[in-house]
Chain A
Amino acid sequence: MDLSPLQSQLVNLKTQKNAVILAHYYQRPEIQQIADHVGDSLELSRKASESIAEILVFCGVHFMAETAKILNPNCKVLIPDLEAGCSLADSCAVLDFVQMRKSHPDHLAVSYINCSAEIKAHSDYICTSSNAVKIINSFPRDQKIIFAPDRNLGEYLIRETGREMVLWDGACAVHEAFSVQKLIELVQSYPSAKILAHPESKSEILKIAHFTGSTSAMIRYITESSADKFLIGTEAGILHQMKELAPEKTLIPIPTKEDTTCACSECAYMKVNTLQKVLQCLETESPEIILDPLVSSLALVPIRRMLQLS
């Protein structure tokens, strides 16, 4: 593998300082090339906890680097750019979260790993999109649950596990923008179609819908309408039912089931890290992730539980 001068410089410095570079899948390729480990946030957390290096450079977003620090508190954890935040993590303010927990005292709090160290400290379990279902299913069936901060993932989990959950109303801005993008593409490919939506559909669908109503109201609309193509925002099962009632019309689903993984590949925050910044941060050993020892120890508890279960 040919390394650019900048990359060679980094590799040398890394060896010299006994540092390890961890990079998320969605980092720029030139960063991934010189990283010791590349993976998703769970894999990288594992690597971080096992590492015996003195310095860890975490090329990802802030909450991931924090997680690495929590798992390996004696290690110096550096992040190339402190601006690499996460809109989902930011959507969950600690004070409100604590308030929510207080008003649901008998609920366990399960938080998606995309959240701040403080939220982790106040949670009972942490999960990633790959192990969330497994973790939730490990609880007794009547266990009440709070899920934070991603509402979309929460809704998906309710459907998957059949549990009732109180959801934190958080969302990833990138993700939302991404699903609007998909919707626009769909509408553009069927310009003459009428758009129908169930009142509980996502707001971006409701905004452009020609008609909003209950399932039976939608069926009536379809049979009475002169149009023959319809874009319908509802669940697949119901769509199937509609097709049987209006066999002569073309019904096209608007996907409501979200990709449950975060759309981090599209995330601008992920892209703020550059080789130059990685080099600079290793040279100056800053910015460093500093966590309060108490917060860090508290946050470790739910992360450990996750690692044990997955």
Chain B
Amino acid sequence: MATALYLAKLRPEIQIRLMDKSGGLQSATRLAQGGLAAVQLPHDSFEAHVKDTLEAGHYQNRPEAVWEVISRAPEIINDLSNWGVRWDRDESDKLHLGLEGGHSYPRIVHQADHSGKTIHEHLTFELEKHKNINPIAPGLVRDLWIKDSKCIGVIVWREDSSQEICLQARHVILATGGSGAIFPRTTNPPSATGDGLAMGIRAGVKTAGLHWIQFHPTVLLNSGDDRAFLLTEALRGAGAYVVNSSGRRFLFDSLPKGELAPRDLICSAIWNEITLNPGQMVYLDCRHFPKGKLHREFPQVSSLCSQVNLDPEKVPLPILPAAHYQCGGIIADRWGKTSLPGLFAIGEVAHTGLHGSNRLASNSLTEALVYAKNAASYLANQSLTQKQEVLAEQIKQIFSLEIPEDNSPSYPWKDLLFDHFIRKTPPGSALLRDIRLRLQILNLGVNRGIYSSKTLQERNLLQVYLELFNSMQASNHHDLHYQEN
């Protein structure tokens, strides 16, 4: 969306089409609670933000990307303000800045704890003002359309009409988000099935750091639900404690920064606490907050807790780590360009090198916007030289596979996967064989024109899983989270 907006401003005559399988309603962007990290105060500096980012990323980051994003974060905040986003401010009308784990200064620009939703709404609203941007079409992009080693468009699945539509385009931008749905417990929306990544992998696009999956340390333990409720890191920034069953702040045993240590270290400390002491539970304790503070500053958290009948002012909140963010992805350069001509990747699907092996909180929305802007300026110059040609559109009727609800595929491998990642044990060969077999059947379905949104997404999940596994095998475990002992 942001790429489209930036580009429309530069080149109002270029036709832009947006395709979203969830109409944008299931995007991770809408769920972002914390906000956007952008250096503001006179005593804060780009250098400090860079240092925090590198430290969190275990120095696996690409320094140019780190500098690019961090130095331009304030500019992005400005752009968003111009699009109408209002930020929380203090009495003197200065931006209210949140402090989050891993940041050495308060620098998180936000609107209460629903910054993502606000941004998403404003961008959607802005889109409508541009005639050259077609309204977001409901459609699941199933694959890239490749010809002569170039990406010349996309193949879209419209479940409502059971049609497969090949759409030609001069440039294709993947902004499909992450792949959290391959894990049994994730903060990501259900749409995060790694579609863009899987398409890229199928097309042979270069990727990096796929196994750098970030786990969020403080996710509310609510049994039964697939999607985990996230308790924002800003809570720890605001002084919440992480305690064990006996109320002890055990993080300090291994982490001098305690609750403000980078999230991967907190995750492994929590995981160790739970696995090394059977029966042990871990909680986020906010009982010492001044009365009303939670309700005022963290309305989303507070309404979420009341939904599950927990009063954070009276009881500590049971928590567990959950898959949160994909730090690796399709390699994208400064302009969002990938190794496949014609294809760009922006946002969580891309690997720009900013995050290294572990993302610093609230760096990702800015990253997505910086590269959206870069890609737009690149595209604005590019298409000047290209002659207008008529773009093809082909429609094919597909046998839409109806999967009865009670017969929906189960994912027995999901639980195992979590364990593989946490314990670093490779999956058994039987499991891998089953996954490969299933993937073959799913691919066959696509080749023969028998599929549904469900099977297409399952296909992507499995594709990403195998790639994640390969990446995990290839790495020497240097940078994996949850390292035991």
A contact set with B: CB distance below 8 Å: 94-95, 98, 118, 121-122, 290, 292-295, 297-298, 301
Contacts and interface: CB of A to CB of B under 8 A. Distances in A.
B448 A298 contact: yes
Contact of B450 (A94, A290, A298): A298
Interface stretch (B191-199, B204-212, B347-355, B433-441): B433-441
B433 A95 contact: yes
B441 A293 contact: no
B395 interface: no
Given A118-B437, A121-B441, A293 B407 contact: yes
Given A294-B401, A294-B455, A297-B399, A94 B445 contact: no
B448 A293 contact: no
Contacts of A298: 441, 444-445, 448, 450
Contact of B440 (A98, A292, A293): A98
A98 B402 CA distance: 25
B435 to A, nearest CB: 11
B407 A121 contact: no
Contacts of B451: 294
B450 A294 contact: yes
Q: Label chain A's interface by main secondary structure.
A: helix
A292 B458 CA distance: 13
Given A121-B444, A292-B409, A297 B437 contact: no
B444 A94 contact: no
Given A95-B436, A121-B441, A293-B402, 10 more contacts: A118-B437, A122-B440, A292-B441, A293-B401, A293-B407, A294-B441, A294-B451, A298-B444, A298-B445, A298-B448
B482 to A, nearest CB: 32
B206 to A, nearest CB: 24
Contacts of A98: 437, 440
Task: Kindly list the 9 A-B residue pairs having the minimum CB-CB distance in the complex, ordered from nearest.
Answer: A293-B403, A297-B450, A294-B445, A98-B440, A294-B455, A297-B401, A94-B437, A298-B444, A295-B441
24 contacts: A94-B437, A94-B440, A98-B437, A118-B441, A121-B441, A122-B440, A122-B441, A122-B444, A292-B441, A293-B401, A293-B402, A293-B404, A293-B407, A294-B401, A294-B441, A294-B442, A294-B445, A294-B455, A295-B441, A297-B445, A297-B450, A298-B441, A298-B444, A301-B448
Contacts of A122: 440-441, 444
A184 to B, nearest CB: 40
Of A98, A293, A294, A295, which is in contact with the most chain B CB atoms at under 10 Å from its CB?
A294
Contacts of B433: 95
Contacts of A94: 437, 440
A121 B409 CA distance: 17
A294 B399 CA distance: 11
A161 B407 CA distance: 43
Contacts of A294: 401, 403, 441-442, 445, 450-451, 455
A229 B387 CA distance: 87
A98 B444 CA distance: 11
Nearest to B402: A293
Interface of B: 399, 401-404, 407, 409, 433, 436-437, 440-442, 444-445, 448, 450-451, 455
B438 to A, nearest CB: 9
A267 B287 CA distance: 72
Contacts of B444: 121-122, 298
A118 B442 CA distance: 12
A298 B449 CA distance: 10
A104 B451 CA distance: 25
B445 to A, nearest CB: 5
Contacts of A301: 448, 450
Contacts of B455: 294
Nearest to A293: B403
A298 B445 CA distance: 7
A291 to B, nearest CB: 9
A301 B444 CA distance: 12
Contacts of B403: 293-294
A121 B455 CA distance: 15
Contacts of A121: 441, 444
Nearest to B459: A294
Contacts of B445: 294, 297-298
A145 to B, nearest CB: 19
A293 B442 CA distance: 11
A294 B407 CA distance: 11
Of B399, B401, B441, B455, which is in contact with the most chain A CB atoms at under 10 Å from its CB?
B441
Contact of A95 (B399, B437, B448): B437
A253 to B, nearest CB: 44
A13 B292 CA distance: 67
B162 to A, nearest CB: 13
A33 B445 CA distance: 41
Contacts of B407: 290, 293
A98 B436 CA distance: 11
A298 to B, nearest CB: 6
A292 B402 CA distance: 11
A94 B442 CA distance: 14
Contacts of A118: 437, 441
Contacts of A297: 399, 401, 445, 450
Contacts of B436: 95
Contacts of A95: 433, 436-437
Contacts of A295: 441
A292 B437 CA distance: 13
A118 B448 CA distance: 15
A289 to B, nearest CB: 13
Contacts of B399: 297
A292 B441 CA distance: 10
Nearest to A295: B441
Nearest to B449: A301
A50 B437 CA distance: 31
A98 B439 CA distance: 12
A289 B381 CA distance: 60
Of A290, A295, A298, which is in contact with the most chain B CB atoms at under 10 Å from its CB?
A298
Contacts of B404: 293
A183 to B, nearest CB: 38
A122 B444 CA distance: 8
Contacts of B437: 94-95, 98, 118
Contacts of B440: 94, 98, 122
B444 to A, nearest CB: 6
A294 B455 CA distance: 8
Nearest to B455: A294
A123 to B, nearest CB: 10
A148 to B, nearest CB: 16
B399 to A, nearest CB: 7
A95 B440 CA distance: 9
Nearest to B408: A293
A308 B409 CA distance: 31
A60 B23 CA distance: 49
Nearest to A300: B450
A294 B409 CA distance: 10
